[in-house]
Structures are given as structure tokens and as C-alpha cells.
Amino acid sequence: MSTLNLTANIDRPDDFYADLLALHEGRSKEESDAINARLVLILANHIGDRAILKQALDAAAS
């Protein structure tokens, strides 16, 4: 079984954060919520491993 990586692992995290903020700029709360939901599903599909996804859900809940 694989383990969820909670160690910083994003190339150029500040640039990613800026891109994420720009994605939401000028959008309503409802639009931003929908974008976030789609992003979660896209990334979950990319990960694909159900055990890792469950660990991520548990980590997010705590």
C-alpha cells in the first residue's frame, strides 16, 4: 500500500499559489466552489489510487 505524501512536493509552490489565486480572481463564491470541486476531481482522477485518496480525505478532515 502506498502512503500519502504530506511533505512539500510542488515545484515552485509560490508560482502555483499565484496561479490558483488568479484562477479565482473575479469569480463569485459559487463559481470558485465549482472550480475547486472540479479541481479536486481532476487531481483525484490523476492520483487514481483509492487508498491514497482515502488518506487524503482523512488528512483533510483532521
DSSP string, 18-47: HHHHHHHTT--HHHHHHHHHHHHHHHHHHH
Residue 43 counted as domain residue: yes
Residue 8 counted as domain residue: no
What domain range is 55 assigned to? 28-62
The Cα 14–Cα 5 span in angstroms is 19
Residue 51 counted as domain residue: yes
Q: What is the pTM of this model?
A: 0.87
Total domain count for the chain? Answer: 1
Residue 53 counted as domain residue: yes
Render pLDDT for 6-59 as a digit per residue (tens, 0 to 9). 999 999 999 999 999 999 999 999 999 999 999 999 999 999 999 999 999 999
Residue 50 counted as domain residue: yes
